[in-house]
Structures are given as C-alpha cells and as structure tokens.
C-alpha cells in the first residue's frame, strides 16, 4: 500500500512577489507603494513648486515677461528639468485656470439651490466663475489667446474647459425646461453654447484692460437677460 505524504507547507511570498490587486479592488487589498514609487511623490512636489513659481512671476512681470527659464530657477531646478513636467508657460497658466474653474464649479454645486428660478441659478453660476477669474485677469487673457495659438495641446485644453462650462450651463437650463421655466421647444444645448460664447466675448475687453471687472459682469448679466427675454417681437 502506497504511503500517503502530507502536503508541503505553503510557501511564504514576499511583498514583491505578491500579485497586484485588480483595478477597483478594496483599499484593504492594495499594497503599499514600493520605496522607488517615491518618484511619484517627488514629481507632484516638483509640479507644485513650478506652479507657485509661475504664478509669482506672472504677478510680478506679467505673463509675457515671465520665461520658463526664470520659472525653473525660482522653482529650484535646472532650465532643462522643467520640461519633464511642462512644455510651455501657456500650459502652466491653463492648468491654473482649470484649477480655478474647478473651484468655481465645486462652490456653485455646494451652494446651488435647485429650487431657485433658472435665471437666478445661471446668474449665480456665472458670478462664481467670474469672481475667481477676476482675481487673476492674466488667466483669462491667456485662455482667450490660447484658443487661437498654433499649439494644439494648449488650445485643446482651453476648449475642453469651455466644453465643461457648456455642460454645466446645459444642466441648469435642462432642469429649467423640465419644470417649465423655459419654452418647451427651446434648444437647450444651443442656448448653453450661446451663453458660453457671450461670456467669453464679454471678457475680452476686460482682460485687455478696457473695462472694469464690474462692467464685464454687468455685460454678462445683460446677455443672460437678452437670452431669456428674446429678440423677436411677440
């Protein structure tokens, strides 16, 4: 009769040989970052220093007066090292614009009263957006300029921000139409695009120093009124 042998003891596996969890696995199943993954942390720290240095120089010298070399020097890195993180100063400014718009959208969602009339909700959204942009007019200037630059990487990012704005405006207008604030046959997407284009146009003279921030805001309010009132005789 053949002797039965006990199964061998399980082989201990080292953390390095443990298979990585599948995407979406619970946090408890995720392995701690390996020591060499500190490069990710250092990369985020470098980008943070670059962002702070860029904003400081933009305020001191204006956007056109700041250079990537000067930004790199203030961030404490070599002129060539900065290109590992960013390709142009336009890209830096667009990233800052994106962060500010995200802040405006988050603030609006937190404070938004969906029971308020649609016109009032639109005004609050546009006011929150304008208040943040008014803190740094250079952000608006470069955003408007970037849409016509021969740098598709930057232009695409600016246009993507505009598309997000259109999406939020669409969301507000769509709810207004559903509850009867807007005409049943109104093209909500076309209306959202019209509002986005009008607000961008209103910011051009302000960004170039021709009108005050308050005059720009009043112009945007007037555009909202015109959109709601309509131009055709009734």
Instruction: Check pLDDT > 60 for residue 53.
Output: yes
Instruction: Check pLDDT > 50 for residue 27.
Output: no
List every span in the chain annotated with CATH 1.10.357.10: 89-229
> 30: Cβ–Cβ under 8 A, 6 or more apart, which residues?
21
| The pLDDT value given to residue 188 | 93
Q: Full-prediction pTM beyond 0.75?
A: no
Strands (E), the chain: none
Q: Output the six-digit token pair for 198.
A: 């009008």
Residue whose C-alpha is closest to residue 96's, from 68, 42, 131, 58: 58
List every span in the chain annotated with CATH 1.10.10: 40-86
**Could you give the CA distance from residue 131 to residue 200 in angstroms, rounded to a whole number?**
14
57 or 9, higher pLDDT: 57
Backbone angles phi, psi at 194, to 5 degrees: -60, -45
CATH superfamily of domain region 89-229: Tetracycline Repressor, domain 2 (1.10.357.10)
User: What confidence tens digit (pLDDT) does each residue in 204-218 have?
Assistant: 888 778 888 889 889
**Could you give the CA distance from residue 25 to residue 36 in angstroms, rounded to a whole number?**
22
Q: Where are the alpha helices (DSSP H) in 112-136?
A: 118-134
Residue that has been written with the tokens 């639109």 in this structure? 122
Question: What architecture (CATH level 2) is domain 40-86?
Answer: Orthogonal Bundle (1.10)
User: What confidence tens digit (pLDDT) does each residue in 173-192 have?
Assistant: 999 999 888 888 889 999 99
> 121: Cβ–Cβ under 8 A, 6 or more apart, which residues?
112, 113, 114, 172, 176
């Amino acid at each position: 009769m053949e002797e039965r042998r006990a199964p061998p003891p399980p082989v201990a596996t080292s953390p390095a040989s443990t298979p990585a969890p599948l995407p979406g696995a619970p946090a408890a199943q995720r392995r701690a970052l390996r020591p060499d993954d500190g490069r990710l942390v250092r990369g985020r720290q470098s980008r943070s220093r670059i962002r702070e240095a860029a904003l400081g120089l933009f305020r001191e010298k204006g956007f056109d007066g700041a250079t990537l070399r000067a930004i790199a020097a203030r961030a404490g890195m070599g002129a060539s090292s900065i290109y590992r993180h960013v390709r142009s100063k336009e890209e830096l400014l667009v990233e800052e614009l994106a962060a500010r718009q995200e802040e405006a959208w988050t603030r609006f969602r937190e404070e938004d009263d969906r029971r308020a009339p649609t016109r009032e909700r639109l005004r609050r959204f546009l006011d929150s957006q304008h208040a943040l942009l008014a803190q740094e007019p250079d952000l608006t200037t470069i955003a408007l300029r970037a849409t016509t630059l021969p740098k598709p990487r930057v232009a695409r990012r600016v246009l993507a921000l505009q598309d997000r704005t259109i999406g939020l405006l669409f969301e507000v207008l769509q709810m207004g139409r559903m509850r009867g604030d807007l005409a049943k046959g109104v093209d909500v997407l076309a209306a959202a695009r019209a509002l986005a284009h009008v607000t961008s146009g209103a910011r051009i003279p302000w960004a170039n120093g021709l009108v005050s921030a308050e005059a720009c805001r009043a112009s945007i309010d007037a555009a909202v009124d015109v959109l709601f009132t309509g131009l055709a005789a009734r």
